[in-house]
Structure 1
Amino acid sequence: MCRWLAYSGSPVMLEDLLYKPANSLIVQSKHSTLGVESVNGDGFGIGWYGRGATPGIVHSMEPAWNDRNLRELSAQTATGRFFAHVRASTGTPIQQTNCHPFRHDKWLWMHNGAIANFHSVKRDLVMAVDPSLYPEIEGSTDSEVFFFLALTFGLEQNPRLAVARAVSLIEETGRRHGIPFPLQMTVATTDGNTTWAFRYSSERLSRSLFRSTEISTLRHQYPDNPVLHELSDDARLIVSEPFGDLRGAWQEIPESSCVTVQGGEAEVHDFAPTPERP
């Protein structure tokens, strides 16, 4: 399906995380080891926070490993929070408006997984999007509709509850259409200060998701690893699959859970669909 990473901490060059690790996101775009597909070459996107009030985004239909502009941009750009995503389409067209991360005001969103039989449930789900938000939907993916459902249910006020309500609606709609397992997801979203990451699926067999352990501990354990010395003690990474085989560097995020990262603190909470109250 897709592979992604979410970083927060002191400013780092994008290339330090996109290109330099042994199993970097660029490597995963060609040779993913834990994804459904080995190749994730149907476009890519990055979203980062700089001086502006809203994050910048760059999308491309090119495979990430073959895009010279991404290489140039990542060698010149430093940021303290960014999302990156390499795409493997689940059936929707390969076009820039279908690349992640998606943006609304100061919010970013990216997704690995799928709403099952999206063509069958798309109309019902889109009709549930708040009319004031509907004009902002630019592409044709299930992931973008999922984002706007979460916004409809109050993502900007309470992200965990909003995503839980969006998931509940997606599952209810899917099962009404005879779909036994309506949703597969790992999702990341951020407002530029806090990152929320979710791992969940209707069949309780979710796609892989990991978070980094404390950088200061890893730096002590691996004093000769140059990448670790580029990161601050409060740096935190959430990734579809680990960047390498450093022992103790990664913790698998549990099934049906949400990780909240703010500063150097990361909290793990149980996650379950929550129907909207009448």
Structure 2
Amino acid sequence: MCRWLAYSGEPLRPSVLVLDAQHSLVAQSLNSPLGAETVNGDGFGFGWYPEGSTAGSVPALFHSIEPAWHDENLRELTESITSPLFFGHVRAASGPPIQRTNCHPFRHANWMFMHNGFLDGFTSIKRDLTFSVDESLYPSIRGTTDSEVLFYLALTLGLQEDPVGAMGRAIRRVEDLGKAKGIAFPVQGTIALSDGATLWAFRYSTSHRSRTLFHSVAIPALREMYPEADRLHQFGDTAKVVVSEPLNDLPGAFVEVPESTVAILDDSGFHHERFLDDGE
């Protein structure tokens, strides 16, 4: 469906990952070996928290309906700024039209959200899902994607206080509505979420055959494994990235996030928690 990456750590020029990595996000927009679609050319988005921003800072966004590989502004931007936390997303549209308001990531206050996947049968449950969004949040929905509605549903259900719990409640709401309409597997995908300090990366689908998701291992460990890899010195000791598929071919550089799991990454490192296991 799409490809995405999320970075957290010492301030970094985003072009290092978005443009310059062996299998950069722009390279994946042209050729995505692990994706459901090989080409992801239906627009892109880039969101970042500026260097020096404080808790609660609002991230900046740049969206375009151009293919990522064709947009000179993306290169200018990602080579000119540094950021301690940023999202990048290349889109393969699955139905909603190609327009800027449908490009990820989405933003509300200091929160960013992006999704790779789909809500199956969205048109049949869209009315009920949208009406489940809090009245005060509803005007902020600008596009027509299932992903944006899912984000605002999670906000309605307490995302700002309990990110993992709220995402779980939102997904269960989608599944309940979908199954009432005879949809066997309503939810598919991987989700990135951040408040500017912590990064949450979810891998979940109703069918338990979710889109791929990986995160990097600790940079100090990687430097020990590959002392001759000069490119690793571009990153600080707390740098970490979550990706739809690995950005390089170094064995052991990326860890696959298990099915039905949320990876939580912050200054202390990363850990995994089970997410919406059967029976919950």
Rounded to whole Å, the distance in 2 between the matches of 1:186 and 1:109 is: 11
Paired position in structure 2 for 1:83: 87
1:220 to partner: Cα distance: 2.2
Paired position in structure 2 for 1:41: 41
Paired position in structure 2 for 1:123: 127
Residue of structure 2 aligned with 1:134, choices 134, 138, 152: 138
Contact preservation (8 Å) 1:155, 1:162: yes
Contact preservation (8 Å) 2:260, 2:277: no
Paired position in structure 2 for 1:178: 182
1:254 corresponds to 2:253? no
Contact preservation (8 Å) 2:12, 2:84: yes
- Match of 2:230, SS? coil
Contact preservation (8 Å) 2:44, 2:91: yes
- 1:12-91 alignment to 2 at 5 Å? 12-50=12-50, 51=52, 53-91=57-95
- 1:167-246 alignment to 2 at 5 Å? 167-246=171-250
Quote the sequence identity (%): 51
Contact preservation (8 Å) 1:161, 1:274: no
Counterpart amino acid of residue 234 in structure 1: T
RMSD: 1.5
Distance 1:134 1:271, change over 3 A: same
When the two structures are superposed, what TM-score results if normalisation uses the length of structure 2?
Answer: 0.96
1:163 corresponds to 2:170? no
Counterpart amino acid of residue 32 in structure 1: S
- The C-alpha deviation readout for 1:74-95, integer Å capped at 9, x for no partner, is 1101101001100011100000
Contact preservation (8 Å) 2:218, 2:269: no
Counterpart amino acid of residue 6 in structure 1: A
Counterpart amino acid of residue 42 in structure 1: D
Moved more, 103-112 or 223-232: 223-232
Rounded to whole Å, the distance in 2 between the matches of 1:271 and 1:221 is: 31
- The C-alpha deviation readout for 1:144-165, integer Å capped at 9, x for no partner, is 0000011001000000000000
- Match of 1:227, SS? helix
1:20 to partner: Cα distance: 1.1
1:185 to partner: Cα distance: 1.5
- The C-alpha deviation readout for 1:128-156, integer Å capped at 9, x for no partner, is 00000000000000000000011001000
- The C-alpha deviation readout for 1:78-117, integer Å capped at 9, x for no partner, is 1010011000111000000000000000000000000001
1:274 to partner: Cα distance: 10
Counterpart amino acid of residue 250 in structure 1: F
Stretches of structure 1 that go unaligned for 5 or more consecutive residues are none
1:273 to partner: Cα distance: 7.2
Rounded to whole Å, the distance in 2 between the matches of 1:177 and 1:106 is: 35
Contact preservation (8 Å) 2:2, 2:35: yes
Counterpart amino acid of residue 49 in structure 1: Y
Contact preservation (8 Å) 1:126, 1:145: yes
When the two structures are superposed, what TM-score results if normalisation uses the length of structure 1?
Answer: 0.97
Counterpart amino acid of residue 47 in structure 1: G
1:275 to partner: Cα distance: 11
Alignment size in residue pairs: 276
Rounded to whole Å, the distance in 1 between the matches of 2:203 and 2:142 is: 25
Stretches of structure 2 that go unaligned for 5 or more consecutive residues are none
Contact preservation (8 Å) 1:233, 1:264: no
